[in-house]
Structure 1
């Protein structure tokens, strides 16, 4: 069993970059990303990407994400920069006190390549690259459909779109985290739960890398969890910060994949866990379920965007130290 220190990406923007971008565009942060930046803004994001990769490498993380500094609209970003999507008014996702733009789909979701382009740039900075994408169910849940006209057809279109984006990822990508918080916060009902699993399966099969389907802000309902295990993913993620008991119940009762991701560092609380605490939480889970896992991804339970930069960096260091070989005194 190998413990792999990583995160879900979507990092806080460094303070100096916020100032630079505000000066360049003259707008608040929600208006900074259009998907077609001028050279000065693009250069700023290049600098931020390099800085975020350095922070992860210094922390000793085993998988390094691009950082998603351009993702002002968080998980909705792949849609908000799409040519056939109109960015609507400001909305709040998941009751997390942060506000984003509503992606309104008004045409076919054809290939974009936006995420792949960022990953190509990150591939020059690390040999341990991990991609992060929204899951199809969550992305469809966060969007407004004015084109497809049917929930089932819309989910299928979003899954096909994401599969095309993932297929374009560079060969350097070793792991893909597919983030599906809506499976917890707005769980699909009968029939829809199976379709959600099939949509995740389509995205996973497009990846030439290990795929982790990670949900958070609670535990999956039993049927949703059971259907998710049918998807062709290499690991399922569990948020042990928000609800450790129900997540352990799901694994003990229904099993899981050969590998798991464990959200053991709180992505929204400024209290920094010690490496010992992180190890204890992973040990507790492994003792509580009857499984011998191939890989355990030791990670934050949510994205880290919500944290101040200094706390974000301290939590990365805790994750890295938690899986580092212990040095005997």
Structure 2
């Protein structure tokens, strides 16, 4: 019997009260203060906001609870942006949208940081199970960064993977790890590099006993990239059925996937809130077009991060996902 699990890829919007509090702190602008050593007042705001978003997920009934990544002003680049071996330089457009991040330039060996592990420790203290860790995948993190130390794309990717694996080893107990890999879609790796990307994901996944989900988004994977990703020793691959449902359906039809699957069915960037029944109907539409429809676990999630959304709409999206996972299978009209 298939287990439907409601979750998100994290990177939540700040609660409105937290935005107001942070804007009152002199000098706090996006990407300005988050360096890993914020002052006590800033730290207290983020701690209270973390508690709010964890309570919200519990109240909504989500099966997996994330820390929220509210401090990640640099989005997926955050784990490098706060690292001692990294210099943050100019402002760079975050993929093809109106968000920006500080360019992380790696200038020395990427040793252990512990920044994300510390966040998860705090989150674990607020949960009673169902904790989900969130990280950028190694390919996307290396794609967002600039290397001025390792000197070779392959060596740099391997170093980023080793860095992330070391961070994961320090995580508290967690049920699921989501590795977010939009760069696999946005700037797909060339021949040879696609296999190295899969090996890098393997290295990170091997650092945890939790179920590992690799979630690309903002489109569909190239067929060869998809094939190499299926070779990775992970539990599930995600498919963005908001940005490109036909191409992702084709990948599943032609090449299959892992024993578990993650379906990006709610729009993480659009304020229109999907009805729970519509989310389940979309899942059923996917399965109706597959030769094999038996999965051990189906993760129902937004297709992208949700920091794009107004907080009230974000709350409604979480509730819709949670309810969708509890509904019986339905047949689309």
What TM-score do the two structures reach when normalised by structure 1?
Answer: 0.97
Match of residue 193 from structure 2: 192
Residue-pair matches, total = 325
| Superposition pairs of residues 233-248 of structure 1, within 5 angstroms | 233-248=234-249
Determine if contact 2:237/2:261 at 8 Å carries over to the other structure.
yes
| 3-state secondary structure, aligned to 1:118 | helix
Q: Structure 2 CA distance, aligned partners of 1:303 and 1:59?
A: 18
Q: Structure 2 CA distance, aligned partners of 1:264 and 1:82?
A: 34
Determine if contact 2:280/2:327 at 8 Å carries over to the other structure.
no
Match of residue 310 from structure 1: 312
**Large movers: runs of 4+ above 2 Å:** 22-27
Q: Give the drift of 1:287.
A: 1.4
Is structure 2 residue 302 aligned with structure 1 residue 300? yes
Q: Structure 2 CA distance, aligned partners of 1:169 and 1:25?
A: 33
| 3-state secondary structure, aligned to 1:315 | helix
Match of residue 166 from structure 1: 168
Ranges in structure 1 where 5+ consecutive residues have no aligned partner: none
| Superposition pairs of residues 139-154 of structure 1, within 5 angstroms | 139-154=141-156
Q: Structure 2 CA distance, aligned partners of 1:284 and 1:275?
A: 14
Aligned Cα root-mean-square deviation (Å): 0.9
Determine if contact 1:21/1:32 at 8 Å carries over to the other structure.
no
Q: Which deviates the most, 32-41 or 45-54?
A: 32-41
Residues 111-135 of structure 1: per-residue CA shift (max 9 Å, x gap): 0011011000000111211000000
What TM-score do the two structures reach when normalised by structure 2?
Answer: 0.96
Determine if contact 1:239/1:247 at 8 Å carries over to the other structure.
yes
Q: Structure 2 CA distance, aligned partners of 1:168 and 1:25?
A: 34
Q: Give the drift of 1:325.
A: 4.6
Q: Give the drift of 1:24.
A: 2.6
Residues 199-221 of structure 1: per-residue CA shift (max 9 Å, x gap): 00100011120000110000000
Q: Give the drift of 1:30.
A: 2.3
Q: Structure 2 CA distance, aligned partners of 1:95 and 1:325?
A: 35
Determine if contact 1:18/1:29 at 8 Å carries over to the other structure.
no
